[in-house]
Amino acid sequence: MQKRINENMKIFETHAHLDSHDFDKDRGLVLERCRKAGVEKIMNIGCNAETSEKSLLLAEKYDNMYCAVGWHPNDASTFDEIALRRMLKHPKVKAIGETGLDYYRQHTPHAVQKEVFEKHIILAKEFQLPLVVHNRQADGDCLQILEKHKPELVVFHCFSGDINMAQQVIGNGWMLSFTGTVTFKNSRQDDVIRLVPARQMMIETDCPYLAPVPFRGKRNEPSYLRYVVEKLSEIIGRPPKQIADVTYKNALRFFAISE
């Protein structure tokens, strides 16, 4: 396994939270490890006004970093459309999000989450930007809202749904992104992963969360994406470099970023 992980691969980290305080003491070292591990481009994701602004600052500082700005459903009650519109004009902003619905944690009333999710979708269409969707235990409502507005470019980040959910996402032409959870012993995603067309798959860490085996329980970072690539390779039955290459190209296309 180690030999395959060390192959020369280009990797696109499509969902990171490197603005997190977890990285304040060694962010530069983390980014250096990314470079050595073949992680050539990084999409940093905002969750509210503060983290979206911090993501913008990081994207301005590092050439290989871009950002998405938006309000996570757990922060939907603080949504500020004026601030979001201002940030969306920045050239390093390549997506809106993360946004969506989270019925697992009851931080925000469902009605507020739905309203703010719809506002993000409308803005994504207006600005012609992709939408980064967080969906947790809200499959039906999430799909209903998306199908009502029919945005073209959507990625379900950290996809954890079942076969039925995956089929509906795939049928709409949207993307599914997978994290280190695919390496967990209790993962039930193998059949879903085999179902996803190569053109509709991306990879991410969601760092500092969801570190893959053998780092489970520790702080996650983009250099660990190689373990996600390796696991997807094992499940799908294709070489790791092929998995890395196709997901890299998918991300470039999805976020409209040039090589």
pLDDT digits (tens, 9 = 90+) for 30-45: 999 999 999 999 999 9
CA distances from 201 to 58, 74, 210 (A): 26, 26, 18
Number of domains in the chain: 1
Question: Do residues 146 and 134 make contact, with C-beta atoms less than 8 angstroms apart?
Answer: no
Domain that holds residue 105: 2-255
Question: Of 238, 233, 163, whose CA–CA distance to 196 is shortest?
Answer: 163
Confidence (pLDDT) at 8: 81
CA 124 to chain centre: 16
Residue 213, burial from CB neighbour count under 10 angstroms (0-12, 13-18, 19+) = middle
Confidence (pLDDT) at 106: 84
Confidence (pLDDT) at 3: 39
pLDDT tens for 48-61 read 999 999 999 999 99
Q: How do 201-203 and 11-16 pair as beta strands? A: unpaired
ω into residue 98 within 30 of 0, thus cis?
yes
ω into residue 214 within 30 of 0, thus cis?
yes
Residue segments in the chain with a per-residue pLDDT below the cut of 70: 1-7
Q: What is the CATH number of the domain that holds 229?
A: 3.20.20.140
